[in-house]
Structure 1
Amino acid sequence: MNQANQRAGITMDEAEIAGFLRDARKLQLGTINPDGTPHMVTMFYGLRDGKITFWTYGKAQKTRNLGRDPRVTCLIEAGDDYFELRGVMIYGTARLIDDPSDVLGVGMDVTRRMTGMTAPEADVEPLREYVAHTGRKRVAFVVEPSRVVSWDHRKLSGANVGR
Protein backbone atom coordinates (compact mmCIF):
# COMPACT_ATOMS: atom_id res chain seq x y z
CA MET A 1 0.00 0.00 0.00
CA ASN A 2 1.49 3.37 -0.94
CA GLN A 3 1.81 6.17 1.59
CA ALA A 4 -1.15 8.18 0.22
CA ASN A 5 -3.48 5.18 0.42
CA GLN A 6 -2.23 4.31 3.90
CA ARG A 7 -2.79 7.93 5.02
CA ALA A 8 -6.33 7.88 3.65
CA GLY A 9 -6.95 4.58 5.42
CA ILE A 10 -6.19 5.97 8.87
CA THR A 11 -8.10 9.23 8.56
CA MET A 12 -11.08 9.58 10.91
CA ASP A 13 -14.47 10.47 9.48
CA GLU A 14 -16.50 13.40 10.84
CA ALA A 15 -18.38 11.26 13.39
CA GLU A 16 -15.13 9.71 14.65
CA ILE A 17 -13.54 13.16 14.99
CA ALA A 18 -16.59 14.51 16.85
CA GLY A 19 -16.54 11.54 19.24
CA PHE A 20 -12.80 11.83 19.81
CA LEU A 21 -13.09 15.56 20.62
CA ARG A 22 -16.07 14.88 22.89
CA ASP A 23 -14.26 12.19 24.88
CA ALA A 24 -10.78 13.75 25.18
CA ARG A 25 -9.91 16.17 27.96
CA LYS A 26 -6.79 18.12 27.02
CA LEU A 27 -5.16 19.64 24.00
CA GLN A 28 -1.82 21.11 23.10
CA LEU A 29 -2.34 24.69 21.93
CA GLY A 30 0.16 26.37 19.65
CA THR A 31 0.27 30.15 19.25
CA ILE A 32 2.98 32.34 17.69
CA ASN A 33 5.42 34.29 19.88
CA PRO A 34 6.55 37.81 18.86
CA ASP A 35 9.82 36.38 17.48
CA GLY A 36 7.92 33.83 15.34
CA THR A 37 8.69 30.79 17.49
CA PRO A 38 5.86 28.49 18.59
CA HIS A 39 4.40 28.88 22.07
CA MET A 40 3.02 25.50 23.14
CA VAL A 41 0.86 24.82 26.21
CA THR A 42 -1.37 21.98 27.36
CA MET A 43 -4.90 23.07 28.22
CA PHE A 44 -8.25 21.64 29.16
CA TYR A 45 -10.89 22.68 26.64
CA GLY A 46 -14.59 22.84 26.04
CA LEU A 47 -16.74 22.35 22.96
CA ARG A 48 -19.36 24.71 21.61
CA ASP A 49 -21.23 23.63 18.50
CA GLY A 50 -18.43 21.16 17.82
CA LYS A 51 -15.73 23.85 17.99
CA ILE A 52 -12.87 23.95 20.49
CA THR A 53 -13.17 26.59 23.22
CA PHE A 54 -10.70 27.47 25.96
CA TRP A 55 -10.14 30.18 28.51
CA THR A 56 -7.06 31.79 29.95
CA TYR A 57 -5.92 34.84 31.85
CA GLY A 58 -6.18 38.09 29.93
CA LYS A 59 -2.49 38.81 30.48
CA ALA A 60 -1.21 35.31 29.63
CA GLN A 61 1.40 34.92 26.89
CA LYS A 62 -1.03 33.00 24.69
CA THR A 63 -3.57 35.83 24.99
CA ARG A 64 -0.96 38.41 24.00
CA ASN A 65 0.14 36.18 21.12
CA LEU A 66 -3.45 35.79 19.89
CA GLY A 67 -3.96 39.55 20.07
CA ARG A 68 -1.13 39.95 17.55
CA ASP A 69 -1.83 36.89 15.43
CA PRO A 70 -4.99 34.81 15.99
CA ARG A 71 -3.71 31.72 14.14
CA VAL A 72 -3.60 28.56 16.27
CA THR A 73 -2.93 24.87 16.02
CA CYS A 74 -4.71 22.52 18.43
CA LEU A 75 -3.49 18.96 18.86
CA ILE A 76 -5.59 16.38 20.68
CA GLU A 77 -4.00 12.94 20.84
CA ALA A 78 -4.23 9.59 22.55
CA GLY A 79 -2.41 6.27 22.64
CA ASP A 80 0.87 4.99 24.00
CA ASP A 81 1.93 2.40 21.43
CA TYR A 82 2.27 3.03 17.69
CA PHE A 83 -0.76 0.96 16.74
CA GLU A 84 -2.89 2.81 19.34
CA LEU A 85 -2.03 6.36 18.24
CA ARG A 86 -5.00 8.58 17.43
CA GLY A 87 -5.14 12.28 16.99
CA VAL A 88 -6.85 15.33 15.59
CA MET A 89 -4.98 18.49 14.63
CA ILE A 90 -7.05 21.59 14.05
CA TYR A 91 -5.59 24.59 12.27
CA GLY A 92 -7.61 27.73 12.63
CA THR A 93 -8.19 31.16 14.04
CA ALA A 94 -8.95 31.87 17.69
CA ARG A 95 -11.82 34.32 18.04
CA LEU A 96 -11.94 36.27 21.32
CA ILE A 97 -14.94 35.85 23.59
CA ASP A 98 -14.98 38.64 26.15
CA ASP A 99 -18.64 38.87 27.18
CA PRO A 100 -18.57 37.87 30.88
CA SER A 101 -21.51 35.46 30.66
CA ASP A 102 -19.98 33.72 27.62
CA VAL A 103 -16.58 33.55 29.33
CA LEU A 104 -18.31 31.94 32.33
CA GLY A 105 -20.01 29.45 30.00
CA VAL A 106 -16.66 28.45 28.50
CA GLY A 107 -15.20 28.25 32.02
CA MET A 108 -17.97 25.91 33.11
CA ASP A 109 -17.39 23.70 30.04
CA VAL A 110 -13.64 23.59 30.76
CA THR A 111 -14.35 22.81 34.43
CA ARG A 112 -16.56 19.87 33.43
CA ARG A 113 -13.69 18.44 31.40
CA MET A 114 -11.09 19.18 34.11
CA THR A 115 -13.13 17.39 36.75
CA GLY A 116 -14.21 14.55 34.48
CA MET A 117 -17.85 15.52 34.99
CA THR A 118 -18.81 15.49 31.32
CA ALA A 119 -21.89 13.28 31.57
CA PRO A 120 -25.09 15.26 30.92
CA GLU A 121 -26.35 14.49 34.43
CA ALA A 122 -23.11 15.70 36.09
CA ASP A 123 -23.80 18.61 38.42
CA VAL A 124 -21.02 21.18 38.29
CA GLU A 125 -23.30 23.96 39.55
CA PRO A 126 -21.67 23.87 43.01
CA LEU A 127 -18.47 24.99 41.23
CA ARG A 128 -20.13 27.97 39.48
CA GLU A 129 -19.18 30.49 42.17
CA TYR A 130 -15.54 29.41 42.11
CA VAL A 131 -15.45 29.44 38.28
CA ALA A 132 -17.07 32.90 38.23
CA HIS A 133 -14.50 34.16 40.75
CA THR A 134 -11.53 32.88 38.73
CA GLY A 135 -13.18 34.05 35.51
CA ARG A 136 -13.01 37.72 36.45
CA LYS A 137 -9.47 37.94 35.05
CA ARG A 138 -10.02 35.57 32.14
CA VAL A 139 -10.99 35.75 28.53
CA ALA A 140 -12.16 32.90 26.35
CA PHE A 141 -11.62 31.87 22.76
CA VAL A 142 -13.40 29.72 20.21
CA VAL A 143 -11.33 28.12 17.47
CA GLU A 144 -12.74 28.65 14.00
CA PRO A 145 -11.21 25.73 12.08
CA SER A 146 -9.70 26.20 8.65
CA ARG A 147 -8.25 22.69 8.29
CA VAL A 148 -8.58 19.45 10.26
CA VAL A 149 -6.16 16.53 10.03
CA SER A 150 -6.80 13.23 11.80
CA TRP A 151 -5.28 9.79 12.20
CA ASP A 152 -6.19 6.52 13.88
CA HIS A 153 -3.40 3.95 13.75
CA ARG A 154 -5.79 1.31 15.08
CA LYS A 155 -7.01 1.12 11.46
CA LEU A 156 -3.60 -0.05 10.19
CA SER A 157 -3.43 -3.64 8.97
CA GLY A 158 -0.64 -4.44 11.46
CA ALA A 159 -2.59 -3.10 14.42
CA ASN A 160 -3.67 -6.58 15.48
CA VAL A 161 -0.27 -8.23 14.99
CA GLY A 162 0.83 -9.95 18.18
CA ARG A 163 -2.48 -9.40 19.96
Structure 2
Amino acid sequence: MKQRSTVRMSAAEVAAVLEAARKVQIATINPDGTPHLVTMFYGLHDGELAFWTSRDSQKARNLRRDPRLTCLVEDGDDYFELRGVQVTGVVRVIEDLPGVTQIGRLVAARLPGSPPPEALTAYVERAAVKRVAYLVEVRRTVSWDHRRLVT
Protein backbone atom coordinates (compact mmCIF):
# COMPACT_ATOMS: atom_id res chain seq x y z
CA MET A 1 0.00 0.00 0.00
CA LYS A 2 1.30 3.45 -0.85
CA GLN A 3 2.03 5.89 1.97
CA ARG A 4 -0.38 8.43 0.45
CA SER A 5 -3.35 6.10 0.85
CA THR A 6 -2.23 5.22 4.38
CA VAL A 7 -2.23 8.83 5.61
CA ARG A 8 -5.32 10.08 3.74
CA MET A 9 -8.20 10.95 6.08
CA SER A 10 -11.85 10.09 5.53
CA ALA A 11 -14.41 12.84 4.94
CA ALA A 12 -15.55 12.51 8.57
CA GLU A 13 -11.97 12.86 9.82
CA VAL A 14 -11.42 15.92 7.62
CA ALA A 15 -14.61 17.47 9.00
CA ALA A 16 -13.44 16.76 12.57
CA VAL A 17 -10.07 18.46 11.96
CA LEU A 18 -11.79 21.52 10.48
CA GLU A 19 -14.24 21.65 13.38
CA ALA A 20 -11.50 21.42 16.01
CA ALA A 21 -9.09 24.00 14.55
CA ARG A 22 -9.45 27.76 14.71
CA LYS A 23 -6.81 29.08 12.33
CA VAL A 24 -6.31 28.57 8.62
CA GLN A 25 -3.47 29.62 6.35
CA ILE A 26 -4.93 31.24 3.25
CA ALA A 27 -3.00 31.70 0.02
CA THR A 28 -4.33 34.11 -2.59
CA ILE A 29 -2.66 35.28 -5.80
CA ASN A 30 -0.93 38.67 -5.93
CA PRO A 31 -1.08 40.76 -9.13
CA ASP A 32 2.44 39.61 -10.05
CA GLY A 33 1.46 35.93 -9.66
CA THR A 34 3.25 35.35 -6.37
CA PRO A 35 1.32 33.83 -3.46
CA HIS A 36 0.04 36.04 -0.66
CA LEU A 37 -0.09 33.86 2.46
CA VAL A 38 -1.76 34.83 5.75
CA THR A 39 -3.08 33.06 8.81
CA MET A 40 -6.70 33.84 9.68
CA PHE A 41 -9.24 32.73 12.23
CA TYR A 42 -12.18 31.04 10.54
CA GLY A 43 -15.62 29.62 11.16
CA LEU A 44 -17.67 26.93 9.51
CA HIS A 45 -20.92 27.63 7.68
CA ASP A 46 -22.73 24.43 6.65
CA GLY A 47 -19.37 22.67 6.56
CA GLU A 48 -17.69 25.35 4.41
CA LEU A 49 -14.72 27.39 5.59
CA ALA A 50 -15.83 30.95 6.28
CA PHE A 51 -13.68 33.99 7.03
CA TRP A 52 -13.84 37.76 6.93
CA THR A 53 -11.34 40.53 6.42
CA SER A 54 -11.06 44.26 5.86
CA ARG A 55 -12.43 45.29 2.46
CA ASP A 56 -9.09 47.00 1.73
CA SER A 57 -6.78 44.12 2.73
CA GLN A 58 -4.39 42.60 0.21
CA LYS A 59 -6.26 39.28 0.32
CA ALA A 60 -9.58 41.05 -0.40
CA ARG A 61 -8.03 42.87 -3.36
CA ASN A 62 -6.54 39.61 -4.61
CA LEU A 63 -9.84 37.74 -4.28
CA ARG A 64 -11.74 40.48 -6.13
CA ARG A 65 -9.36 40.03 -9.04
CA ASP A 66 -9.08 36.21 -8.83
CA PRO A 67 -11.37 34.17 -6.54
CA ARG A 68 -9.06 31.14 -6.41
CA LEU A 69 -7.32 30.26 -3.15
CA THR A 70 -5.74 27.46 -1.19
CA CYS A 71 -6.41 26.96 2.51
CA LEU A 72 -4.35 24.89 4.95
CA VAL A 73 -5.38 23.74 8.42
CA GLU A 74 -2.67 21.77 10.14
CA ASP A 75 -1.83 20.31 13.52
CA GLY A 76 1.16 18.61 15.15
CA ASP A 77 4.77 19.42 15.93
CA ASP A 78 6.61 16.13 15.38
CA TYR A 79 6.64 14.49 11.94
CA PHE A 80 4.70 11.51 13.26
CA GLU A 81 2.05 13.83 14.74
CA LEU A 82 1.38 15.93 11.63
CA ARG A 83 -2.19 16.16 10.41
CA GLY A 84 -3.47 18.53 7.81
CA VAL A 85 -6.26 19.44 5.45
CA GLN A 86 -5.57 21.43 2.30
CA VAL A 87 -8.59 22.85 0.51
CA THR A 88 -8.30 24.35 -2.96
CA GLY A 89 -11.27 26.24 -4.27
CA VAL A 90 -12.89 29.53 -5.08
CA VAL A 91 -14.57 32.01 -2.78
CA ARG A 92 -18.17 33.08 -2.73
CA VAL A 93 -18.16 36.73 -1.68
CA ILE A 94 -20.56 38.07 0.94
CA GLU A 95 -20.79 41.86 1.04
CA ASP A 96 -24.22 42.60 2.51
CA LEU A 97 -24.07 43.73 6.14
CA PRO A 98 -26.30 40.95 7.57
CA GLY A 99 -24.27 38.27 5.76
CA VAL A 100 -20.91 39.73 6.79
CA THR A 101 -22.16 40.03 10.37
CA GLN A 102 -23.28 36.40 10.36
CA ILE A 103 -19.85 35.20 9.21
CA GLY A 104 -18.20 37.52 11.73
CA ARG A 105 -20.19 35.88 14.51
CA LEU A 106 -19.11 32.41 13.36
CA VAL A 107 -15.45 33.45 13.34
CA ALA A 108 -15.63 35.35 16.64
CA ALA A 109 -17.38 32.49 18.43
CA ARG A 110 -14.28 30.33 17.86
CA LEU A 111 -11.71 32.87 19.07
CA PRO A 112 -9.75 31.72 22.11
CA GLY A 113 -10.38 33.73 25.27
CA SER A 114 -13.37 35.53 23.78
CA PRO A 115 -14.92 38.38 25.77
CA PRO A 116 -18.47 38.09 27.17
CA PRO A 117 -21.13 37.51 24.47
CA GLU A 118 -22.48 41.07 24.58
CA ALA A 119 -19.00 42.54 24.07
CA LEU A 120 -18.32 40.09 21.26
CA THR A 121 -21.60 41.00 19.57
CA ALA A 122 -20.76 44.70 19.78
CA TYR A 123 -17.28 44.07 18.31
CA VAL A 124 -18.67 42.03 15.39
CA GLU A 125 -21.34 44.62 14.58
CA ARG A 126 -18.76 47.46 14.59
CA ALA A 127 -16.23 45.52 12.54
CA ALA A 128 -18.71 44.16 9.98
CA VAL A 129 -19.29 47.61 8.49
CA LYS A 130 -15.72 47.69 7.13
CA ARG A 131 -15.39 44.03 6.21
CA VAL A 132 -16.21 41.52 3.53
CA ALA A 133 -16.81 37.82 4.16
CA TYR A 134 -16.10 34.69 2.15
CA LEU A 135 -17.24 31.11 1.92
CA VAL A 136 -14.83 28.65 0.35
CA GLU A 137 -16.35 26.47 -2.36
CA VAL A 138 -14.18 23.36 -2.36
CA ARG A 139 -12.76 22.11 -5.65
CA ARG A 140 -10.22 19.70 -4.15
CA THR A 141 -9.33 18.45 -0.67
CA VAL A 142 -6.07 16.78 0.28
CA SER A 143 -5.50 15.41 3.76
CA TRP A 144 -2.85 13.59 5.75
CA ASP A 145 -2.48 12.09 9.21
CA HIS A 146 1.07 10.97 9.87
CA ARG A 147 0.04 9.35 13.16
CA ARG A 148 -1.00 6.42 10.98
CA LEU A 149 2.59 5.81 9.93
CA VAL A 150 3.54 4.50 13.38
CA THR A 151 0.53 2.36 14.21
1:11–1:97 Cα change, 3 Å: same
Question: Which of 25, 28, 32 matches 1:28?
Answer: 25
Which has the greater radius of gyration?
A: 1
Aligned residues: 150
* Distance apart, 1:95 and its partner CA: 1.1
For structure 1, which runs of at least 5 residues remain unmatched after alignment?
118-122
In structure 2, distance between residues paired with 1:116 and 1:52:
21
Alignment of 1:135-154 (within 5 A): 135-154=128-147
Alignment of 1:8-47 (within 5 A): 8-47=5-44
* Distance apart, 1:111 and its partner CA: 0.7
* Distance apart, 1:124 and its partner CA: 3.1
Q: Which residue of 1 aligns with 2:72?
A: 75
TM-score for both structures, normalised by structure 1: 0.88
* Distance apart, 1:125 and its partner CA: 4.3
TM-score for both structures, normalised by structure 2: 0.95
For structure 2, which runs of at least 5 residues remain unmatched after alignment?
none
In structure 2, distance between residues paired with 1:25 and 1:10:
22
In structure 2, distance between residues paired with 1:139 and 1:44:
14
In structure 2, distance between residues paired with 1:111 and 1:21:
16
Determine what percentage of the aligned residue pairs are the same residue.
55
Question: Which of 90, 108, 111 matches 1:111?
Answer: 108
